[in-house]
Amino acid sequence: MFRTLDQADLSQKRALVRVDFNVPMQDGAVSDDTRLRAALPTIEKLRAGGAKVILLAHFDRPKGKRVASMSLAPIAGPLAALLGVPVAFADDCVGEPAEAAIAAMKAGDVLLLENLRYHSGEEANDPDFAKALARLGDLYVNDAFSAAHRAHASTEGLARLIPAYAGEAMRRELDALDKALGKPERPVLGIVGGSKVSTKLDLLKNLVTRLDRLAIGGGMANTFLFAQGWDVGASYCEKDLADTAREIMGLAAASGCELLLPIDIVVAEKMEPGAPARTRALGAVEPDERILDAGPQSVARLIAAMEASKTLIWNGPLGVFEMPPFDRATVAAAKAAARLTQSGALVAVAGGGDTVSALNHAGVAADLTFVSTAGGAFLEWMEGKTLPGVAALEA
């Protein structure tokens, strides 16, 4: 079990808080403040407890050098506006600039330190750099699940040196993931989509041993259909992975996990918005046609599987959702998941970049139990891997 801020004495303590402020910027200004907003509950809880809040973050990839365009300085103003209190900024994350800024703090103050990755010791998880960070604080809070799969100084090394706790966003993420795959209510259904089997081998092999049903969609479904002997026409397909697909199908069968592959498909000759689309039965794909979405029968069967499940975990779209009309399967499945979640019948957890975009496209991202924006960390957790930044928080 991991430690939370409810167990910490915060009064007058210097709290080093690892946040994810690697936000989209345009013309030197924050263009999407979602990640800033995600940090607010932790910052406010620390301030309310009388802590001095010292924020640690990275921005982009300066590779251990000072790169002016990768400074965190432009973040301080937008964060202050969201918090409604001043946010001070220190020109370095260790040494005299950081120490002087922290010495000037009072309880409830908020300070943002400069980009951690200006120092090569951050990504190298250098013990001396971790110790230099540790000298700045009395306790450590990790509120950046999205960086928890990296064993960096600010995510792993520092957490071993001073008392370490999960922040509010981290706690919410870990609780949701535990409900989805740690101790889920069964039956559990998984949806894995996207274009390439090759990028999700570890994920598929882990999930078929842990789920009751697994639906495979997107371009990767074509590889499984090809492995079963179906002609996929001009579709994207990793034909060299047919043996691997058959191995995963065998592992699913041995584990008692039912694989749901498309039973009908939507095809077009060109992958472009508004292209003439046709629904085909398996085996009826013409040589110049591409499979670009799951068909209505496949969607109906998937929704029936959702209705028979208690828990859903979702990563990846079912088709080329960015190009209508090839978004229909993804949108229909997303709306069904939202309906079942809102009625209390389903715990639905989703994550991964394309998944978040697809759920936003369907207008239902806010209606699922939890939607993780943590990309790589979410994927590695689904693969069954230990995340160094989470392991360091375990009590």
Over residues 3-36, the pLDDT tens digits come to 999 999 999 999 999 999 999 999 889 998 989 9
> In the predicted model, what is the mean pLDDT of the chain?
96
Residue pLDDT, tens place only, 40-99 = 999 999 999 999 999 999 999 999 999 999 999 999 999 999 999 999 999 999 999 999
Please tell me the predicted confidence (pLDDT) of residue 296: 98
Annotated catalytic residues are 35, 196, 353, 376
Q: Give pLDDT, residue 1.
A: 80
Q: What is the pLDDT of residue 353?
A: 73
pLDDT at 327 over 90: yes
- pLDDT confidence of residue 375: 83
Question: Contact, 350 vs 371, CB < 8 A?
Answer: yes
pLDDT of residue 305: 98
Decide if pLDDT at 169 tops 80: yes
Angstrom CA distances, 359 to 189, 195, 315, 328, stand at 17, 17, 11, 12
Measured from the Cβ of residue 363, the count of other Cβ atoms closer than 10 Å reads 12
Amino acid identity of residue 45, one-letter, is: K
Provide the CA 156 distance to its chain's centre, in angstroms. Answer: 19
**Alpha-carbon span 361 to 335, nearest angstrom:** 11
What's the CA gap between 312 and 181, in Å, rounded?
A: 9
Q: What is the pLDDT of residue 322?
A: 94
Residue 373, pLDDT above cutoff 90: no
Q: What's the pLDDT score for residue 30?
A: 93
Which value, in Å, is the radius of gyration of the alpha carbons in the chain? 23
Of the candidates 321, 329, 372, 333, the one whose C-alpha atom is nearest the C-alpha of residue 349 is: 372
Is the model's pLDDT at 395 over the cut of 80? Answer: no
Residue with tokens 């993931």: 177
Strands 25-26 and 29-30: antiparallel
CATH architecture of 175-382: 3-Layer(aba) Sandwich (3.40)
In angstroms, the CA 374 to CA 291 distance is: 29
pLDDT of residue 147: 94
* Residues in Cβ contact with 141 at an 8 Å cutoff, skipping those fewer than 6 apart: 5, 15, 16, 17, 18, 42, 46, 164, 165, 166, 167
Written as six digits, the tokens of 284 are 């009826």
Question: Which tens digit of pLDDT belongs to each residue from 223-260?
Answer: 999 999 999 999 999 999 999 999 999 999 999 999 99
Residue 196 scores a pLDDT above 70: yes
Question: Which fold does the domain 5-168 belong to in CATH?
Answer: Rossmann fold (3.40.50)
DSSP state of 222: H
Q: Are 97 and 39 in contact (CB under 8 A)?
A: no
- As annotated, the residues of the chain forming the CATH 3.40.50.1260 domain(s) are 5-168, 175-382
Distance of alpha carbon 114 from alpha carbon 90, whole angstroms: 6
Please answer whether residues 95 and 133 qualify as being in contact, where contact means their C-beta atoms are separated by less than 8 angstroms.
no
pLDDT at 386: 92
Tokens of 250: 């065998």
Confidence of residue 352 (pLDDT cuts 50, 70, 90): confident
Average pLDDT of 160-177?
Answer: 95
pLDDT digits (tens, 9 = 90+) for 299-318: 999 999 999 999 999 999 99
